[in-house]
A and B are shown apart, each in its own frame.
Chain A
Amino acid sequence: MTSEQDRWARAIGQWSRSAAELLDRCRRADLAQLGRSLGRRVESDVVRVLVAGDFKQGKSTLVNALVGDDVCSRDVTVPTSVPTVCAYAPEAANRLIERRERSIRRRDVTQLEARAAQGGTWPDALTVELEIPSRVLRAGLELVDCPPASNRSAARAATLEAARSADVALLVSDAAQALTEPEVGLLTELCDTVTTLLVVTKCDLVPHWRAVVRENQAALERLQLPCELVSVAARIHPAGPGPHDPSAAASGVDDLVARLREGAHAARREALLTEATDGLVRALGEGRSGQQRDLEAFGDRERLRDRVQQAEAGLHRCEALRSPAATWQRLLDARCDEIAMELHDRAEDRLREIVALATSTLEEIDPGKDWDTFEPWLRDVSGGVANDVISAAERRVALLAREVTQAFADTQAHALTGFDRATPQSDAPYVTLESSVEGRVARFVREGFATLGSTSGGLLAFATLGGVISAAVLAPLTVIIGAGLGGTAVIAERRTERVVRQQRATEAVERYVATVQDDVDETLAAGLADFRTRARDQLIARADDLVRAARHDLTVAQTALEDAEAARERLAETERNIAEIDDLLERIRRPADAAGGESR
């Protein structure tokens, strides 16, 4: 390392500390963290090694062998799903880096928790950091074990992102077969980003591993990738599970370590310094524009106050959705009654028509003789009425379901209009607020009709009505009419048989029709009651969700206002922060340019 580079590195360390302190004051813990890590990377002599590759290629086994300890889970049922950083420390420690609402949190965990987090049990886990008193790490290596980066997954993008902050990348591919197409793709992109080594693993396991190595060498040459190949058998390294030579040379792991140490240094140094400087400038720039936005936002407390009021009103409106006085509930109740009445009338009219028709028919026929044709006719027409009423009921209820959901939706939309998205906001909580409201509206649009669909699941009750009516209602017909006709024999002696039979039959038809009417009314009432309960329960459950969400929005808006109030008092401080950032940026840019000028 030249002394020029040394001076530059020290300067970066200095700047990064100032920058981190400043950014902390700007309440941008994330940027401060970035600044610190940039400084640490430049100042320390540590070579950061990224270990990437597809599923089950032996990444974790390799990391374990390099570190000399079982630090990466070897539980075969759980693939690594969170990047794991292994760094040196005199005392072993496990840390978990988690995403919190506004910040990144870092906390000590037990080894067991760290393992679980590696396996993806913590949804908020970003990285697992393991500090290990390992000989190899102490000599200046830091390893990052990446989740499997297969063909088209997000993991691949994450791997490339992580490669940007690494000094060397290892693409791990096992000796079972030559590089696959997705692997070549990843390797090419890695080579564009960082010094990359292709590590062929499992050479202890595959008889023809030399052929695969040759094939891979040929592929590297054909693709003209600036990438060297190393073959290892990590399992027979002293740290691996298999029996091993005392020298451990056979595993190829020590050779790999040596290459990592030397390969990463000289050429990478200059680039690293430039990158770190650029990174600091970017972080400060971002912090500055955040402060600038804050300055503008603090002046706009009125708007924030409005927002709180709107959130309050929204909450009330959401709560109102649950009350029996809400439009949709009134609509539901009124319409159900209306539908019941209307359908009752409809059935009554139609049945009355049938009675009239039956009576006039009975005047012409002798029920004693023509009963065989008359009875099926009567069954048929009254069955038709039942079906007609039922399908009308289905249509009306489906319509009603839509109306009620619409009424609910209107009120809901009204409840949510409070949160307009017109003005851009400066800080995270506002973004959360907006996106959460936006998310809910979108969800409603998507789910609205699904809810409607399941609400009209109540309609299923009607589907069974047909069966109920044909079984329970039409069956007694024969009994009723049969009884009516049975009596005719006695009376027929005194009056004209046929007339009496006709009269009895007419009466029986009327009684039968009345029964049909009663049963239709009853089943309709039951169906409608069922629908009404289901619809109400479901929509109230939705309203409960909304109330909960609105309460949360209100809290967020209130916090934002409080923040703004507090920030106003810090107005001077914010202005000072900006000035200091500008000052630091100025200092960073000057010597960086100077260094660049000298090298030219």
Chain B
Amino acid sequence: MTTSPVEGTRSLLRETLARADPAERDALTALDELFDEPARIAIAGMVKAGKSTLLNALVGERVAPTDAGECTRIPTWYRRGRHYEVRAVDRVGSPGSPLSFARGEELVVDLASRDPASVDHLLVACPTNRLSNQTLIDLPGHASLSPDVARRAQDFLMDDEGSPVDGVVYLLRHRHPADLEFLEAFHSRVAGRGAVGALGVLSRADEVFGGDLSAMDDARRVSGVLRGDRRIRGLCQDVVPVAGLVAESAATLRNDEVEALRAIAGADPGLVAFGVSSVDRFRDLDHAETTPETRMRLLERFGLFGVRAAIDVLGRDPTRTGDALSSDLLAVSGIGELRAALDRIVLQRVHELRARVVLRRLASSPSLLGDRAAAGELERIQANAHGLRELEVAELLRRGSVPGIGPDDNAELQRLVGVYGVAVRDRLAAPPGAGRDELRSLAGAQHGRWQRVAESPLAAPVTVQVASTAVRTCEAMLMSDLAPA
């Protein structure tokens, strides 16, 4: 058994580093550190699209400054740390200088006398396992689309060698043309410059769809439509709805809140039904056990949709514990689907993405090219790493200029080479519950189809490259995961 391409790349990098000129050592050391770093996921969207709320929901606590001060105009990185810490960093890679902050219910950061323009980003360290495999990057929101905004976002995402960002989450509103324009402007700049995974999130899904208990079902239907939309499909690998406020509050649910909700849920059903029909009626609810202030506070924390959902759960099972209620609400909020999609689209591939950046860099490293054995090893890794070739092909496909491959085929090929997830089912777009035989026949069909394209004498070289990679992917599936029992 040979070592995996990722491990191979790693040890090649280490060997090169050991021999490197002093001039090159810093850059290579940075690469070595990048290898161990969690995946970097940027969150982009319009102002008030709910970026901070979503970020809090992903981290599982209220860490994002929601205040509209200077802080929200500076990109903020959230990463795992041993203790809470906030630093102002003036360029990527430097440790930055610590800032004072206060941690109450929210994080309040004091920029002190720092000029916001001189700060590249804020670095917030939190001691949470949620950030063990990902660093979240909150990009400044944009008020409206302008070429400048798209350019700044692009500058940010593309400034390092290769791409400093492994995945992007776009907050979308329902079919808003400005979102699409922004995505397109953005995509046309980053496409082909790194296989960045992109995910659309219908944020504030509960609010946009009217706050009924069925709001998330509506939001899921709309996500399905958006996912199938030809323009969106080329820009995002998936679209999921998230009720950010519900997810955030469920993750930080407090006991007094659970008890207040339980008390309301236990009141007269007719009264409760009327009470949850609007925010004013909920505030003015004829309910002695809770005060109007408490009820307003619940609304602010959960939104009307979250309150309805919680009361619905507690009404059916009055003994539900706080933990159980928290997971019920998390399930309703759709945050789990967002995490799963991020895992599928970004996290599972992150080591390969990193290896690819490193290999590209090593291919031009004088320290490595001076050594025949190492150069040979580099070539061997490049030739054998099918996963890396898939990334290469994914990039070609996302650039969209493979002759003879139409938009539908393009999407299918991207799926096959793992852009939408590297699991066999994701690659084959298998219907849920498909058996092994069905998967085998799907893979077989894809194999035959792309084999014909790869062998066509009329196919352009790049088309042949793409099709043969797809063929190889199918073979790998048929020989390993789907091998006959």
Contact = CB atoms under 8 A, between A and B. Distances in A.
Interface of A: 54-56, 61, 76-77, 79, 150-153, 176-177, 180-182, 202-209, 233, 235-236, 241-244, 250, 457, 460-461, 464
A424 B105 CA distance: 74
B279 A209 contact: yes
Q: Which of B175, B274, B277 has the most CB of A within 10 A?
A: B277
A461 B176 contact: no
A452 B212 CA distance: 57
Given A236-B277, A242-B278, A250-B281, 15 more contacts: A56-B173, A56-B176, A76-B174, A79-B174, A150-B178, A181-B143, A203-B279, A207-B300, A208-B300, A209-B279, A235-B210, A244-B277, A457-B458, A461-B457, A464-B458
B310 to A, nearest CB: 15
Contacts of A243: 273-274, 277
Interface stretch (B125-133, B217-225, B312-320, B435-443): B217-225
Q: Choose among A76, A151, A460 the residue with the greatest number of B CB atoms under 10 Å from its CB.
A: A76
B11 to A, nearest CB: 38
A136 B251 CA distance: 46
B200 interface: no
Nearest to B211: A205
Nearest to B145: A151
A205 B207 contact: yes
B460 A241 contact: no
B279 A205 contact: yes
Interface string B443-478: 000000000000001111000000000000000000
19 contacts: A56-B174, A76-B218, A77-B225, A151-B178, A176-B207, A203-B280, A204-B280, A204-B281, A207-B299, A207-B300, A207-B303, A208-B300, A236-B281, A243-B277, A250-B281, A460-B457, A460-B458, A460-B459, A464-B457
Q: Which 5 A-B pairs have the closest CB atoms?
A: A204-B278, A207-B299, A76-B218, A242-B277, A205-B211
Main secondary structure of the interface of A (DSSP, over half): loop
B144 interface: yes
A205 B280 CA distance: 9
B210 A182 contact: no
Contact of B174 (A55, A152, A205): A55
Contact of A203 (B178, B224, B278): B278
B209 interface: yes
Nearest to B176: A55
Nearest to B50: A176
Contacts of B398: none
Interface in B162-196: 173-178
Contacts of B204: 176
A181 B144 contact: yes
A153 B181 CA distance: 11
A453 to B, nearest CB: 11
Contact of A177 (B48, B174, B279, B459): B48
A151 B144 CA distance: 9
Nearest to B284: A250
A57 to B, nearest CB: 10
Interface in B127-159: 143-145
A233 B278 contact: yes
B123 interface: no
A461 B458 contact: yes
A207 B307 CA distance: 11
Contacts of B48: 176-177
Interface residues of B, number: 40
B308 to A, nearest CB: 10
B228 to A, nearest CB: 10
Contacts of B222: 76-77
B304 interface: yes
A153 B457 CA distance: 46
Interface string B262-274: 0000000000011
B375 interface: no
B157 to A, nearest CB: 24
B278 A250 contact: yes
Max count, chain B CB within 10 A of own CB: residue among A56, A77, A182, A207: A207
Contacts of B211: 204-205
A185 to B, nearest CB: 10
B108 interface: no
Contacts of A244: 277
Interface in B288-312: 296, 299-300, 303-305
A180 B145 CA distance: 13
Contacts of A250: 278, 280-281
Nearest to A153: B177
A60 to B, nearest CB: 11
B296 A207 contact: yes
A287 B185 CA distance: 46
A177 B173 CA distance: 14
A537 to B, nearest CB: 14
A55 B277 contact: no
B178 A460 contact: no
Contact of B278 (A182, A236, A241, A460): A236
Given A150-B178, A176-B204, A76 B209 contact: yes
- In this complex, which of B281, B303, B304, B460 has the most chain A Cβ atoms within 10 angstroms of its Cβ? B281
A55 B173 CA distance: 9
A151 B143 CA distance: 12
Interface string B196-211: 0000000010011111
B243 to A, nearest CB: 12
Contacts of B225: 77
A301 to B, nearest CB: 49
B144 A182 contact: yes
A460 B460 contact: yes
Given A204-B279, A236-B278, A55 B175 contact: yes
A151 B218 CA distance: 25
Contacts of A457: 458
Contacts of A242: 277-278
Max chain A CB contacts within 10 Å: which of B143, B219, B299, B458? B458
